[in-house]
Amino acid sequence: MGAYRVAVFASGQGSNFQALADAAAEGRLGGAEIGLLVCDKPAAPVVGRAQATGIECYTFQPKDYAVREDYERELVALLHEKEIDLVVLAGYMRLLSSVMVEAFTGRLINIHPSLLPAFPGKDAIGQALQYGVKLSGVTVHFVDGGMDTGPIIAQRAVPVAEEATQESLTAAIQAEERTLYPEVVSWFAEERVKLEGRKVTVIRR
Ligand code: GRF
């Protein structure tokens, strides 16, 4: 059996992609390798990061397709061809259709910058500040057909200081993301994640 292979989907800066690539290079990803970056914005900074790390990158433009299902069918074929075991969304700013979700059920995860189910969707950090919560954080969850609604795999809390700003809370949350996401991916590579209904169990070593 070959190495456990991960594809990362991203649309923007790629700080999580970088953290995962660094973890793989340093042997902190449970033996997993990042086999592919998929990006829906060819000019996004994350594309340059993939080039710098030598990770294969596939870019496409959703506007070139009539419907989402059309490009997702191509993506599923590509992921199978590249023998991808786990799809990791890291700032991929598009909802997935059932084409992707059903092809990778139980093998498709996302990271979200709040303690779900609080503040799903866009600008979770702004929503949390606006609401005035004292504690926010990071959630890694399975992806289902909804917006940030899938079973929760791991969460880390981040306190919201009284003087917190969008920038300071974003920095604190992203620092937590960069350690949590590689850890969760290593659990998958080590086959330690079990899903029953909505309940996720991580088998201890
Ligand atoms: C992260 O904060 C992640 O939680 C959210 O989008 C952001 C992506 O940041 N889903 P980056 O592109 O990984 O730097």
Asked whether residue 96 is marked as a ligand-binding residue, the answer is: yes
Q: What is the pLDDT of residue 125?
A: 98
**Phi/psi at 202 (nearest 5 deg)?**
-105, 115
Contact 79, 58 (CB under 8 A): no
CA 1 to ligand 1 centroid distance, Å: 32
- With tokens 């093998």, the residue in question is 107
| Cβ of 137 less than 6 Å from ligand 1 | no
Q: What is the CA radius of gyration of the chain?
A: 16
What pLDDT is recorded for position 193? 98
112 is catalytic: yes
Q: Which atom of ligand 1 is nearest to the CA of 17?
A: 13
Which residues have a Cβ under 8 Å from the Cβ of 1 and sit 6 or more positions away?
none
Domain 5-202: CATH superfamily is: Formyl transferase, N-terminal domain (3.40.50.170)
| Angle at CA of residue 33, ends 31 and 38, nearest 5° | 150
**116: annotated binding-site residue?**
no
Residue-wise pLDDT for 27-58, tens only, equals 999 999 999 999 999 999 999 999 999 999 99
Residue 2 has pLDDT above 90, yes or no: no
Ligand 1 center from residue 51 Cα (angstroms): 19
User: Token pair for residue 145?
Assistant: 């057909």
Give CA–CA dist 24/200, Å, rounded: 24
Ligand 1 center from residue 14 Cα (angstroms): 7
pLDDT digits (tens, 9 = 90+) for 145-164: 899 999 999 999 999 999 99
Residue position matching structure tokens 């960069």: 178
Mean pLDDT of all residues in 188-205? 96
pLDDT tens per residue across span 75-126 = 999 999 999 999 999 999 999 999 999 999 999 999 999 999 999 999 999 9
- Name the pLDDT band for 1 (thresholds 50, 70, 90): low
Closest CA to 112 of 88, 96, 132: 88
What's the CA gap between 39 and 11, in Å, rounded? 5
Tokens of 118: 């609080």
pLDDT at 131: 98
Q: What is the DSSP letter of 149?
A: -
pLDDT at residue 25 greater than cutoff 70: yes
Confidence of residue 205 (pLDDT cuts 50, 70, 90): confident
Does pTM surpass 0.85?
yes
Which two tokens mark 180? 């949590």
Q: Can you tell me the distance from the alpha carbon of 196 to that of 173, in angstroms, rounded to the nearest whole number?
A: 28
Q: How confident is the model at residue 178 (pLDDT cuts 50, 70, 90)?
A: very high
